[in-house]
Structure 1
Amino acid sequence: MAELHDISDAITEFNRSYLMLAKWLLLANRDEATRQLGISEKTASRIAALTLAQIDHLARAANCSASFATSVRQGARESAERRFAPRHRDDFVNDRRYVLAASRHLEP
């Protein structure tokens, strides 16, 4: 039974981390975050407007908030190649700042 409790706690923490990161990304660059997260504008608006109490409530759901979709459309490969192409150094610095800033919000 303790193992089930551990799994539930892990899902809750994953959900909280995902929702906090998604909200932070949406507030930093809504268009890019909406595209990268693969969510609709309506969903983006809802996530961006969540309070911390609402995020905690949603995080305790019995399932994962994130959905990991795979795309089989013809342009998916070209899109991935563009996305993972070498980028300018400033992009990597900004990516690290996003992760560091988001992780500060997630620390207990």
Structure 2
Amino acid sequence: MRSVKYVCASSSRKIDGKLDESTAWFEFHQVAHLFGMSLEQATKLLRHAGMTGDIEPAKDVRLSDRCKCLMSHRAVVAVGYLVNYGRATAFRHWCASSLAVLFR
């Protein structure tokens, strides 16, 4: 897997991810930090995104080999829109431009 890094322009917070065939995966605790929320709040919002159909938990959430929760870039956007629309929009734009190039 290739590595990727996202840096938020407004907060300078960074998250590191890994790319597979068509998805970027980010650690759950880093996503919570990116959007400035607690792990408990992030867990609630992730569940909400799954219940409303914004994400497919079976496809967008998984455990890594080190027992860490990973979220797809789609899940990051879905959770982000629930807590910080501006940062989520910036992340979505980064996905559309940077990840599109990397997945070619």
Q: Same fold (TM over 0.5)?
A: no
Q: TM-score, normalised by structure 2?
A: 0.31
Larger helix percent = 1
Choose between structure 1 and 2 for higher RCO, CA contacts under 8 A separated by at least 6 residues. Answer: 1
Larger strand percent = 2
Q: TM-score, normalised by structure 1?
A: 0.30
> Computing the radius of gyration over CA atoms, which structure comes out larger, 1 or 2?
1
